[in-house]
Each structure stands twice: as C-alpha cells, then as structure tokens.
C-alpha cells in the first residue's frame, strides 16, 4: 500500500471514531487468520483504529454487527452472496473492502464437479470485486486480476512477524531451506506444479 505522510495520516482522535469490522470466513486458528487478519488488525489498532473480527458468522450476525461499523472488510471469498452484502452496506454509507490473498476465484483441487463450480467461483468473485469500495490483494497476480474490475486496488503482501521468523545466524555455508505451508493437503497439488523448478 502507498506510504502516508505525517500530514496525510489520520490523527488519533479521528482514528478512534473509525470502527473496522473484519468478516473472516475461516476459524480463529486458521493460517489466513494467524498470518494476515490478526497482524493487520493489531497494526491498525496501534494507530488508534477500533477493530473487531467475527469468525464464520451467519448473515444475521454480519448485518447486525456491520451497521455499527464504518468500514467492513470481507476477508477472502466469504459467502456466495458477499456482493449483495457489499451493495447493501454501501447503500448504508459504509466503506466495503475485499481482502484477498489467494486465487479465490479458482476451486480448490480435488473438489467434485470442478467444471461446474469454476465459472460460479469466477463470476461471484468478480461481482464482489465490482461491488466493493476498494480491494486489498496479496500478490501482483491478484492485483492484475482485480484491477480489471475495480480501480481502487492496493497491494499488501501477507506480513511476516519478524520477532518469530528471522534469518538463521550460522557461519557455515548451508544449502537453502524453503518453507511451505497450506490450509489443506489439497494445496500440495500446487506444490507439485513447481516441483521441477524447485529441484533445479
């Protein structure tokens, strides 16, 4: 995301009046929450914003909680009817942000009848992008995709907690070690696609 100067930054008193609601489709212990949602919410709170995260909520909870917040952030692909909620909240004068750090428009490998779900995922994702006030993406590929349907797209790679993850201090020269984590074992299909490149 672009850097904001001290003059452009919101003052603490004004920030306290801005309540942000994160609508998270995953469970609290999921990797997406641990590595993206919570760190971002904590960082925003450091600047005085009030943040609330709701996990896997039903539509009634989203509506009831959303009306109390100025900004609603839908994390990833939340529900098939996310774009309808986006339209409703925007009619109520809310800012709606879609945060995607994955190719949510592509069905997970191994899902039955992918040929049927693929176009549905694609269309619903585009509708949600179109109906949102702004989009936050985790990669250049996602930025390129989202920019076709929304002019306000901001790149924010998933943050890394450098107090937990840091380069190993070792005098000897060692072979590089690559780490891989995924939400489910179905994601190993993606790892297999780059196996030959990794070996080289």
Main-chain dihedrals φ then ψ at residue 135, nearest 5 degrees: -125, 135
Task: Specify the pLDDT at position 142.
Answer: 93
Tokens describing residue 146: 């989202």
Tell me how far CA of residue 53 lies from CA of 39, 72, 83, 142, 143, in angstroms.
12, 10, 19, 24, 24
- Say what the pLDDT of residue 91 is: 95
- Tens digits of per-residue pLDDT, 10-43? 565 565 568 999 999 888 888 788 888 898 999 8
Q: How far apart are CA 6 and CA 166, in angstroms?
A: 29
Single out the residue of 118, 70, 68, 126 nearest to residue 98, CA to CA: 126
Q: What is the pLDDT along the chain (200 residues), one digit of tens a residue?
A: 445 444 445 565 565 568 999 999 888 888 788 888 898 999 899 888 999 999 999 899 999 999 999 999 998 765 677 889 999 999 999 999 999 987 777 766 666 656 666 787 788 888 999 999 999 999 999 999 999 999 999 999 888 778 777 777 766 767 777 777 766 676 777 788 888 998 88
Q: What is the mean pLDDT of the chain?
A: 82
Rounded to two decimals, the pTM is 0.77
Cα angle value 193/98/75 (rounded, 5°): 70
CA atoms within 13 A on the CB side of 141: 5
């Amino acid at each position: 995301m672009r850097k904001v100067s001290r003059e452009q930054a919101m003052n603490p008193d004004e920030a306290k009046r801005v309540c942000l609601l994160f609508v998270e489709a995953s469970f609290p212990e999921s990797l997406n929450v641990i590595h993206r949602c919570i760190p971002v919410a904590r960082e925003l709170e450091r600047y005085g914003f009030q943040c609330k995260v709701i996990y896997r909520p039903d539509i009634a909870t989203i509506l009831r909680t959303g009306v109390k917040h100025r900004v609603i952030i839908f994390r990833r692909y939340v529900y098939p009817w996310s774009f309808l909620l986006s339209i409703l909240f925007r009619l109520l004068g809310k800012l709606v942000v879609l945060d995607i750090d994955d190719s949510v428009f592509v069905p997970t490998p191994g899902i039955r009848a992918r040929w049927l779900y693929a176009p549905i995922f694609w269309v619903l994702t585009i509708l949600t992008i179109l109906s949102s006030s702004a989009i936050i993406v985790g990669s250049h590929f996602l930025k390129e995709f989202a920019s076709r349907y929304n002019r306000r797209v901001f790149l924010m790679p998933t943050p890394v907690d450098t107090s937990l993850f840091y380069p190993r201090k070792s005098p000897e020269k060692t072979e590089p070690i690559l780490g891989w984590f995924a939400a489910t074992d179905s994601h190993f299909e993606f790892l297999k696609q780059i196996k030959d490149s990794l070996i080289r």
